[in-house]
């Protein structure tokens, strides 16, 4: 039996029927068609499925879909500008060679965004802690941390 829920997804209200056993990633990638959020382990271990719910980075593979009711949810698709230009964080990943196979990238970027939204001047330790739940099987961690540092610097310049 399905229950209809509504929430704000990348700034727009959506209404979607969900089964009780669905997790958020199931409705994002399924009926909502947003396949930028990747599914890796489905056990809360890899962070590939990270999205932002009410300002916090969460593993959408573990987040019950019914809990999304009334929330503000941002996925990687919500970061681009109106002309589909890359966000500052996405561009920093490109500039720093922080994308290899790209599987971890949406989750990494969403964790980085949640960090920078709450802490615009993070230390290296803060960045490492924020990315602790995100695994990169290509092991490009140095470039990923550099990308987050660059994004933080550019965001500071803008403000
Ligand atoms: S797919 Fe969600 S943490 Fe790995
Ligand atoms: S770039 Fe391949 S998993 Fe991170």
Domain tally, the chain: 2
Q: How far apart are CA 51 and CA 54, in angstroms?
A: 10
| Ligand 1 atom nearest to CA at 49 | 2
CATH number at residue 148: 1.10.150.120
The ligand whose atoms approach the alpha carbon of 111 most closely is: 1
Q: How far apart are CA 137 and CA 107, in angstroms?
A: 13
What is the predicted pLDDT for the residue at 7?
98
Residues 150, 158 contacting (CB under 8 angstroms):
no
> Going along 60-126, which residue ranges are E strands?
72-74
Give the chain's mean pLDDT: 97
Q: Are residues 100 and 53 in the same domain?
A: no
Measure Cα distances from 63 to 58, 96, 106, 122, 132 in Å: 7, 31, 17, 27, 18
CATH number at residue 50: 3.10.20.30
In a domain, residue 135? The reply is yes
Range of the domain at 98: 88-158
Neighbours of 123 (CB within 10 A): 11
* pTM of model > 0.95: yes
Tell me which residue has tokens 């470039």.
143
| Tokens at 27, concatenated | 């409705």
The ligand whose atoms approach the alpha carbon of 137 most closely is: 2
pLDDT (tens digit per residue) in 6-47: 999 999 999 999 999 999 999 999 999 999 999 999 999 999
Residue 137 Cβ contacting ligand 2 at under 6 Å: yes
Q: How far apart are CA 159 and CA 154, in angstroms?
A: 9
pLDDT (tens digit per residue) in 59-105: 999 999 999 999 999 999 999 998 999 999 999 999 999 999 999 99
Q: Are residues 62 and 30 in the same domain?
A: yes
Residue 35 Cβ contacting ligand 2 at under 6 Å: no
SS3 content of the chain, % helix, strand, coil (to 5): 40, 20, 45
């Amino acid at each position: 039996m399905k229950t209809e829920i509504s929430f704000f997804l990348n700034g727009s209200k959506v209404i979607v029927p969900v089964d009780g056993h669905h997790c958020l990633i199931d409705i994002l990638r399924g009926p909502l068609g947003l396949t930028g959020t990747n599914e890796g382990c489905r056990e809360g271990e890899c962070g590939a499925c990270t999205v932002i719910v009410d300002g916090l980075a969460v593993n959408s593979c573990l987040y019950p879909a019914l809990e999304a009711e009334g929330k503000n949810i941002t996925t990687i698709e919500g970061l681009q500008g109106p002309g589909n230009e890359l966000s500052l964080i996405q561009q920093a990943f490109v500039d720093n060679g922080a994308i290899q196979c790209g599987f971890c990238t949406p989750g990494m970027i969403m964790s980085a965004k949640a960090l920078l939204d709450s802490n615009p001047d993070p230390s290296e330790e803060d960045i490492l802690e924020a990315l602790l739940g995100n695994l990169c099987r290509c092991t490009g961690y140095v470039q990923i941390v550099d990308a987050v540092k660059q994004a933080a610097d550019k965001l500071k310049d803008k403000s």
